[in-house]
A = this chain, B = another copy of it.
Amino acid sequence: MTAVTTYTSRVVRITIEYDGSAYNGWQVQNNAPSVQAAVESAVNRLTGGTGRVRAAGRTDAGVHARGQVAVLSLPETLPVERVPEALNSRLPDDIAVVAASSCEASFDPRYDCVMKQYSYSLTYGPVRPALGDRRSWHVKRPLDVAAMAAAAGLLAGHHDYTSFANRERAGEDNVRTVDRSELVVLPADAAGRGRLVYYVEGRSFLYNQVRAMTGTLFGIGTGRFNRDDIPRIFAARDRAAAGESAPPWGLCLEWVLYPGESRPEDRGGLVGR
């Protein structure tokens, strides 16, 4: 496919927020809606071109993002501060561009990334949530939250994460560094449901890794595992040794950092100064 753009273009970095519920993940696929296809469609309706949009992370089907980062080409005649509104007016309601800036043509959102943060939201208690919490995984059984919080840090570090990787990756290089693995306990909601957010940070992750780590932490909460099992789970290098993957709708890509950038919470949010 050849680009038919006739304008002088420049490379723009955008930050994207989306509710992944209606999409079969970030990446373009045949016969299934993807966030990438929706963003490319908006860009190409804006420019009349056929350009591609490349992102930092290929979020899985049903996974959300608050700060996905992507790169695309746009006409130089469009001021960069007008890019969010120009794209948002062409995007579906469940996708929004929250920031845009010019960047080097060599910028690669995937390989230049130095850190990503994922959050996994979980509520627990006998009554399922009816109002507004469809981005949490709700579990009915009681959880030993103290055991989960104490064990979470053991899932961080420099390890072979084969036990947390898709089975097709067995035998490949599955060594990764997880810089943060922390369970934050929020106050119970008005209906008495417990609320947990599990934060995981690192430069790169295996497909399904965060959901497998979450499922393992859940197994600690239910008593299936205890913290002494974690070294054994790593050593097994076998997906069956860890917990089942938690469902996608609790997972959200919070932010992606590049060299020289401070964490969003230290600068007042994704679009803070």
Which A positions have Cβ atoms within 8 angstroms of B?
15, 17-19, 64-67, 84-85, 88, 91, 93-99, 126-132, 134-135, 188-192, 252, 254-255, 264, 268-272
Candidates B94, B98, B126, B189; contact of A191 at CB < 8 Å: B98
Q: Which of A17, A64, A88, A132 has the most CB of B within 10 A?
A: A132
In the complex, residue of chain B having the shortest beta-carbon distance to the beta carbon of A140: B85
Q: Which of A17, A254, A255 has the most CB of B within 10 A?
A: A17
Cβ-defined contact, A189 with B269, below 8 A: yes
In the complex, residue of chain B having the shortest beta-carbon distance to the beta carbon of A128: B96
Cβ-defined contact, A135 with B131, below 8 A: yes
Closest 10 CB pairs of A and B: A96-B130, A98-B191, A192-B271, A190-B270, A17-B130, A190-B269, A19-B131, A17-B131, A98-B127, A132-B135
Nearest-neighbour CB distance to chain B for A5, whole angstroms, equals 26
Cβ-defined contact, A85 with B126, below 8 A: yes
By a CB distance below 8 angstroms, the chain B residues around A132 are 19, 64, 132, 134-135
Nearest-neighbour CB distance to chain B for A53, whole angstroms, equals 16
Q: A17-B127, A96-B191 are in contact. List 7 more A-B contacts (CB 8 A).
A: A18-B131, A19-B132, A66-B131, A96-B129, A98-B190, A131-B135, A190-B269
Given A19-B130, A88-B127, A88-B128, A269 contacting B188 (CB threshold 8 A): yes
By a CB distance below 8 angstroms, the chain B residues around A191 are 15, 17, 66, 96, 98-99, 269-271
CA distance A130 to B68 in the complex (A): 13
Given A67-B190, A191-B17, A127 contacting B269 (CB threshold 8 A): no
* A-B CB contact pairs (8 Å), 10 listed: A15-B191, A17-B129, A19-B130, A91-B130, A94-B131, A131-B252, A132-B134, A188-B269, A191-B269, A191-B270
By a CB distance below 8 angstroms, the chain B residues around A17 are 127, 129-131, 191
In the complex, residue of chain B having the shortest beta-carbon distance to the beta carbon of A15: B191
In the complex, residue of chain B having the shortest beta-carbon distance to the beta carbon of A85: B126
Cβ-defined contact, A127 with B97, below 8 A: yes
CA distance A192 to B255 in the complex (A): 14
